[in-house]
Chain A
Amino acid sequence: MRTATILLLLAALLVAAVLVASGVGPYRIPPLTVLEALAHRAFGGAGGTTVDTVLFNIRLPRVVAAAFVGAALAAAGAAYQSLFRNPLVSPDILGVSTGAGLGAVVGILFGFPVVAIQLLGFVGGLITVAVVATLASMLRGSGDVLVLVLAGIVVGALAGAAISLVKVLADPYDQLPAITFWLLGSLAGVKASDVGVTAAVVLIGLAPLVLLRWRVGVLSMGDDEARALGVEVGRLRAIVIAAATLITASVVAISGVIGWVGLMVPHMARLLVGPRFDRLLPAAILLGAAFMVGVDTLARSAARIEIPLGVLTAVIGGPLFVWLLARNRRKLLP
């Protein structure tokens, strides 16, 4: 099937997921009412009923946030897999999620308001990767990429230890549960204002990845070959890391740490459109968004209480990944 057709189908899948997600939730709204309310708002009508409040203040921001979270994580994962020439790489390889987690739990420890916690998470993620990149450039050995990975492992481990320390210092009755929930990932408290900012940052970060998609793919041939083919490897690598870090940190700041999406969705997309990054990126973005919308819908409606997103992505992602590997061993593991 042609790539363009597949992308169209994925876009349709995303739209369908969003529509279904808007109609599902603990507060029962019949599908027809959902469509009416959407149409009413689209044509400039003012809200006011409970249905409007539930739909536009709670449910839709959450659905849109989930789409951006999934898109960002999948894009970052795909980009890093090309950059590090390894299909088993996740967006957290340079420690951005762990660093964001550290920032946020420090905010919870000091009892800061939610906005400050989100900001600390975002900044924590950025700082962590900056430290990793600086460390790697100071240690630059013969294998550029390997040094980055090692620095990422070290700094990520340090951030993880710091998170554990925060857990020890936190009040077990009040703060520790909040910290635990945050680290497991959830979009329960997301508001329209959060979504606006996150969406803007994600779009800004995705832009360079989309524009430079061909060259990012060429990077996967290795530094020497990529340079010889005409790519400024050092500069491109810096741009990819900056963009992937930006989008990942911004979504982790509002959703907490969510694993598996960045690792798995690019694989699923690869099965659909092949490994070429210029085709993979849009597919991963659309698929990631649809996947996360589905998972979040499950998180808020499968039980009376919220199921953490990180738990769901692992429970769904793990077996799915094994199944994918078994079915497509030849295609996925050359």
Chain B
Amino acid sequence: MTVLEAKNLSIGYGSVAVASGLSLSVSAGSVTCLLGPNGVGKTTLFKTLLGLLPPLAGQVHVDGKDLAQLDRQGIARHIAYVPQAHSADFAYTVLDLVVMGRTAYLGAFNAPRKADYDVAMAALDRLGIVSLAGRDSTRISGGQRQLAFIARALAQQARIIMMDEPTASLDLGNRILVLDTVRALAHEGLAVVLSTHEPEQAFIVADQVAALGRQSRFVAGAVREILTSQELSRLYGVALGIEQTPSGRFVVGPAPSH
């Protein structure tokens, strides 16, 4: 079932279009990886799908509704944002951070109530980090903080979760942890869109890949279709090759010279 759909999207700032004619469809219970080199508009596309930037043309639909017709709270109930794990300017506890995800359901003058805290705790529990609830969010590891942000998105009870390079600046152990979590969430029925610089992650978790390249070249489709060495080389402007390890993992690297 399609939960997020972009139709003939033109993205950019002001009157300058960065890319046009983009169409993408994301289903529930799937993981979509957003790939692309720096500076071509991957972030712009990401923000437009989230509703943080207005499209210059075309529409974004969530659960069948046009994003442009919804107010902020409305959008937030459908689609949640997991940023790269950053340190906050204030020493909020992990629970404080996560319960912010409930803002989408609070009246303008209300603060979270017990029911909201219950949802937040449930989200923490689902990710196995209940023990972090009372900890200072600025004093935990990057990986733990990334999980906290994911928990916040879960507390938001949105069907679509958009993650911005969630494994950047994480060590190997934490990377695996986060990717496992992403797969588990999709398995439970959520739609996850994941922006990443690592095609290998797409091989690990994704069902679908959307690649935005130079000169607005946009392709979207199943992983095996899109992630060919030809396509990847084109995307990054560097000769790349894909190899498969004996255990079945796909590895991307500079094309072997013949």
Interface residues of B (CB under 8 A from A): 47, 50-52, 71-73, 75-77, 79-81, 83, 87-93, 96, 100-101, 103-104, 106, 108-112, 136, 138-139, 156
Contacts and interface: CB of A to CB of B under 8 A. Distances in A.
Kindly name the residue among A211, A213, A334 whose own CB sees the greatest number of chain B CB atoms within 10 A: A334
Contacts of B73: 230
A229 B100 contact: yes
Given A212-B109, A214-B111, A334-B138, A221 B50 contact: no
A30 to B, nearest CB: 45
A228 B90 contact: no
A231 interface: yes
Contact of A231 (B72, B80, B96): B72
A90 interface: no
Categorize the interface residue count of chain A. Answer: 20 to 34
Nearest to B112: A214
A278 B109 CA distance: 11
A130 B233 CA distance: 52
Contacts of A237: none
Contacts of B138: 334
A236 B136 CA distance: 27
Contacts of B88: 220-221, 334
B103 A214 contact: yes
A232 B52 CA distance: 11
Contacts of A221: 88, 100
Contacts of A278: 111
A229 B90 contact: no
A214 B110 contact: yes
Contacts of B139: 330
Contacts of A87: 89-90
A334 B87 contact: yes
B72 A232 contact: yes
Contacts of B106: 214
A33 interface: no
7 contacts: A214-B111, A215-B108, A228-B51, A228-B75, A232-B72, A275-B91, A275-B92
A167 interface: no
A218 interface: yes
Contacts of A334: 87-91, 136, 138
A86 interface: yes
Nearest to A276: B96
Contact of A225 (B77, B81, B96, B111): B81
Contacts of A275: 90-92
A231 B72 CA distance: 6
Contacts of A217: 100
Given A213-B111, A214-B111, A85 B75 contact: no
Given A275-B90, A278-B111, A215 B103 contact: yes
B100 A218 contact: yes
A211 B71 CA distance: 20
Given A220-B89, A334-B138, A228 B111 contact: no
A224 B52 contact: yes
A225 B108 contact: no
A41 interface: no
A225 B103 contact: no
B52 A228 contact: yes
A331 interface: yes
Closest 5 CB pairs of A and B: A230-B76, A228-B81, A275-B90, A230-B104, A334-B138
B98 to A, nearest CB: 11
A85 B90 CA distance: 8
A40 interface: no
A140 B215 CA distance: 28
Given A228-B52, A278-B111, A334-B138, A218 B103 contact: yes
Nearest to B13: A142
A230 B72 contact: yes
Contact of B156 (A212, A224, A229, A231): A229
Given A214-B112, A225-B81, A225-B83, A230 B75 contact: yes
A276 B92 contact: yes
Contacts of A231: 72, 103
Nearest to A280: B90
A227 B81 CA distance: 10
A330 B47 CA distance: 34
A120 B138 CA distance: 45
Given A225-B81, A230-B104, A334-B88, 20 more contacts: A87-B90, A213-B111, A214-B103, A214-B110, A214-B111, A215-B103, A221-B100, A222-B83, A224-B83, A228-B51, A228-B76, A228-B80, A229-B81, A229-B103, A230-B77, A231-B72, A231-B103, A232-B71, A274-B93, A334-B90
